[in-house]
């Protein structure tokens, strides 16, 4: 099932079909397999598509459209028939793992809100009759507009008028069935509407100073994490901390109208590429650092018959011809390959410029440590405001499964002093950060670390010295 003991999150894709020029479902399945997608989310239960996905090894989330909710809520015999026709006729050859009952129901102009939870319960009861309620989970994607408050992140609350009638019953249902909340989150919309106050780098997972939440004092280095944690905070306020989140839609358009600020191929490639790296890196959000993110990108294709602004037609990673709109890594192996620097000899690595930008040098004279300032210079350091327990957990991960070289901070070793948790964590985090070539999301550790662009204090510079003069490992700068 979606939530396992895996240390990394998963990347899926939304396969929308509001277009008249898409390849056949069988060709789409081959495309999914060649691109490494093992999860796909549909917006219906189209027989041709589900048949094409049979025996593909791809896990599938299907959907019950909003217009069926009133019938599903009114009569369980309706959901019995629906399950038979749309699920049992394909399962298990087609690996259906979840059913999205409705989509963004709270913003549906047809006002289907009151039908949502009864429909979810009836669908679940119909699955129980077939002994499939543990294999196929039920959820429903919500939009961020369901929140009454989302900034600062710690103030996240659901709209008052939704809480008692639908939010609490839905969360209780998700808790009882072991399911998760689906959330459609789009930093693009927030940035386009507030480009004067939101940094583009913050929205695109690029290096930026980050935002400190004034309520919980956690540091956010990207907008998607902040949006997700606003929903987490809203659930926590209702005492549903144990319900997890799947990002059922997120993406960035490669083309937009003149007033759609930020739309474009470069930004779309940055957002989706950095997001994939961040998800497959395995870290959770600052509020829930131990819960890896599971994300469905939106979308597989550009869809020429979608209505609305130009951006709506241009969220695809692929054109209908199956040609990529832009090139980004989609799997762990591709991500690692894209982050691997060109090999250099040890002595060259301390001086040679990268992409026309000189590297910083760390001269040592008379026992004093100094740093020659250089534009773009970065380090990964521990977040001193983080709890000792969580900082220690992040340190253990970096030195263990993360593969950071922590030998120099062992008792009696070169960089053991200063013997503080923050100094040792900073060494380990920076080791991991440089090892990963400062890739997006590699200086995070669930909020326990962050990137700095000014020289750390001398007590933390031992790790810088170590990289240059003990390991001959290069420091990589933007």
What residues are labeled active site?
104, 249
Q: In Å, how far are 74, 195, 219, 247, 273 from 280, measured between CA atoms? A: 41, 28, 20, 14, 11
**Residue that has been written with the tokens 């999205």 in this structure:** 100
Residues 266, 189: Cα–Cα separation, whole Å:
17
Beta bridge partners of 101: 64
Beta bridge partners of 59: 39, 95
Is the separation of the CB atoms in 223 and 175 below 8 Å? no
Residues 64, 42: Cα–Cα separation, whole Å:
10
For residue 296, how many other CB atoms are within 10 A of its CB? 25
* Structure tokens that stand for 209 in this block: 């100073």
- Beta pairing, strands 180-184 & 219-220: unpaired
Is the separation of the CB atoms in 364 and 399 below 8 Å? no
């Amino acid at each position: 099932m979606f939530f396992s003991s895996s240390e990394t999150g998963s990347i899926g894709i939304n396969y929308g079909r509001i277009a008249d020029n898409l390849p056949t479902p069988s060709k789409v399945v081959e495309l999914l397999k060649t691109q490494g997608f093992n999860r796909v989310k549909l917006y219906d239960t189209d027989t041709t598509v589900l048949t094409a996905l049979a025996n593909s090894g791809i896990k599938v989330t299907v959907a019950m459209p909003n217009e069926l909710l009133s019938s599903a809520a009114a009569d369980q015999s309706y959901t019995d028939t629906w399950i038979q026709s749309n699920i049992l006729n394909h399962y298990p050859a087609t690996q259906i793992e979840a059913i999205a009952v409705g989509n963004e129901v709270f913003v549906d102009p047809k006002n289907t809100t009151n039908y949502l939870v009864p429909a979810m319960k009836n669908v679940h009861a119909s699955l129980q009759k077939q002994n499939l309620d543990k294999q196929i989970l039920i959820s429903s994607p919500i939009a961020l507009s369901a929140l009454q408050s989302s900034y600062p992140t710690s103030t996240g609350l659901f709209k008052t008028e939704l809480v008692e009638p639908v939010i609490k019953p839905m969360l209780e249902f998700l808790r009882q069935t072991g399911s998760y909340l689906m959330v459609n989150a789009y930093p693009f919309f927030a940035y386009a509407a507030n480009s004067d106050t939101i940094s583009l780098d913050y929205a695109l997972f690029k290096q930026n100073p980050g935002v400190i939440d004034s309520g919980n004092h956690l540091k956010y280095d990207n907008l998607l994490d902040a949006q997700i944690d606003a929903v987490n905070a809203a659930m926590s306020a209702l005492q549903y901390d144990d319900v997890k989140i799947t990002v059922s839609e997120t993406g960035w358009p490669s083309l937009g109208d003149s007033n759609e600020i930020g739309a474009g191929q470069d930004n779309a490639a940055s957002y989706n590429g950095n997001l994939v790296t961040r998800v497959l890196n395995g870290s959770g959000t600052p509020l829930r650092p131990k819960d890896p993110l599971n994300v469905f990108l939106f979308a597989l294709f550009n869809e020429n018959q979608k209505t609305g602004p130009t951006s709506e037609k241009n969220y695809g990673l692929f054109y209908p011809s199956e040609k990529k709109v832009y090139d980004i890594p989609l799997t762990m192996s591709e991500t690692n390959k894209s982050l691997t620097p060109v090999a250099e000899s040890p002595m060259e690595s301390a001086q040679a410029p990268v992409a026309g930008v000189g590297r910083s040098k760390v001269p040592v004279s008379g026992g004093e440590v100094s740093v020659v300032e250089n534009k773009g210079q970065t380090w990964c350091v521990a977040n001193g405001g983080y709890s000792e327990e969580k900082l220690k957990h992040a340190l253990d991960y970096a030195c263990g499964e993360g593969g950071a070289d922590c030998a120099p901070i062992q008792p009696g070793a070169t960089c053991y002093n200063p013997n503080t948790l923050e100094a040792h964590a900073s060494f380990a985090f920076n080791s991991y950060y440089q090892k990963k070539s400062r890739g997006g999301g590699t200086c995070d550790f669930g909020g326990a670390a962050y990137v700095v662009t000014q020289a750390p204090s001398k007590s933390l510079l031992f790790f810088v010295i170590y990289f240059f003069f003990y390991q001959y490992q290069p420091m990589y700068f933007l």
